[in-house]
């Protein structure tokens, strides 16, 4: 009965938050995010009862069907909405609180350098935008928002908005902390190229000065001869 209640909570949560959902039956039959979460709950049961091979087989089959990869070891709270879903990846030690929202292409992954707890923990009511990457064993606080395509490598406080590569906190508790938004984000590659161009211009200027000094020396030497 607990399993059925969890499914009902998931569907009810989607009905409340997704304006495209016209009925509970539509959500149950056509939403790939719902299918992935439902099957994950079954796979998670096998994982916790030391049937890890069966759990992994179930998760891989569902990955092939939905395009959503959730490791059976991940802990997911109630009411998770995976919108569209294709390309979503959730790692083994990831934890997701209640009523979170994940858009397509986002990743809750690791960096490859951690052991044990390797993946992030999301608090309640966290929104992760399309293509965003949250990498590492840190906490993303309650009600936080991660902008599309952001790369988050450190903890995000509650009630904050993080944007950019690497992500920076631009809003916290309703107040702007940086003059940035999700659209007008400085391009870090372009900034780095600009710095390199400035260094190159200085080197070219210095070389020109040295060449001029060398020419003066040569002319002076020729004049003495």
* pLDDT score at 115: 84
pLDDT tens-digit map of 112-124: 887 889 999 999 9
Are 118 and 221 in the same domain? no
Please tell me the distance from the alpha carbon of residue 9 to that of residue 25, in angstroms, as a whole number: 14
Please tell me the distance from the alpha carbon of residue 5 to that of residue 88, in angstroms, as a whole number: 24
Are 215 and 137 in the same domain? no
Q: Is 77 helix (H, G, I), strand (E, B) or coil?
A: coil
Domain of residue 199 covers 187-225
Please tell me the distance from the alpha carbon of residue 163 to that of residue 147, in angstroms, as a whole number: 5
Are 120 and 40 in the same domain? yes
Are 7 and 26 in the same domain? yes
Are 155 and 195 in the same domain? no
- Identify the top-confidence range among 4-8, 24-28, 90-94: 90-94
Please tell me the distance from the alpha carbon of residue 115 to that of residue 202, in angstroms, as a whole number: 45
Are 32 and 127 in the same domain? yes
Look up the CATH number of the domain holding residue 124: 2.160.10.10
Per-residue pLDDT averaged across 36-64, rounded? 94
- pTM for the predicted model, two decimal places: 0.72
In the chain, how many domains are there? 2
In a domain, 181, yes or no: no
Are 100 and 138 in the same domain? yes
């Amino acid at each position: 009965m607990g399993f059925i209640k969890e499914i009902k909570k998931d569907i009810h949560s989607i009905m409340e938050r997704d304006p495209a959902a016209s009925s509970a039956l539509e959500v149950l039959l056509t939403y790939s995010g719902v299918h992935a979460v439902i099957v994950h709950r079954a796979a998670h049961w096998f994982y916790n009862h030391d049937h890890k091979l069966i759990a992994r087989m179930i998760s891989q089959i569902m990955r092939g069907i939905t395009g959503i990869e959730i490791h059976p070891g991940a802990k997911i709270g109630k009411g998770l909405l995976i919108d569209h879903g294709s390309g979503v990846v959730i790692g083994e030690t990831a934890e997701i609180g209640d009523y979170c929202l994940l858009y397509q292409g986002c990743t809750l992954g690791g960096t490859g350098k951690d052991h044990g707890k390797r993946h992030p923990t999301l608090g309640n009511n966290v929104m992760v935008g399309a293509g965003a990457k949250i990498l590492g064993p840190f906490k993303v606080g309650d009600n936080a928002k991660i902008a599309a395509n952001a790369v988050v490598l450190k903890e995000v406080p509650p009630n904050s908005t993080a944007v950019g590569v690497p992500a920076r906190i631009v809003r916290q508790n309703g107040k702007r902390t940086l003059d940035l938004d999700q659209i007008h984000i400085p391009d870090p590659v372009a900034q780095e190229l600009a710095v390199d161009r400035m260094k190159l211009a200085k080197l070219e200027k210095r070389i020109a000065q040295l060449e001029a000094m060398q020419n003066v020396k040569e002319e002076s030497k020729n004049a003495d001869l």
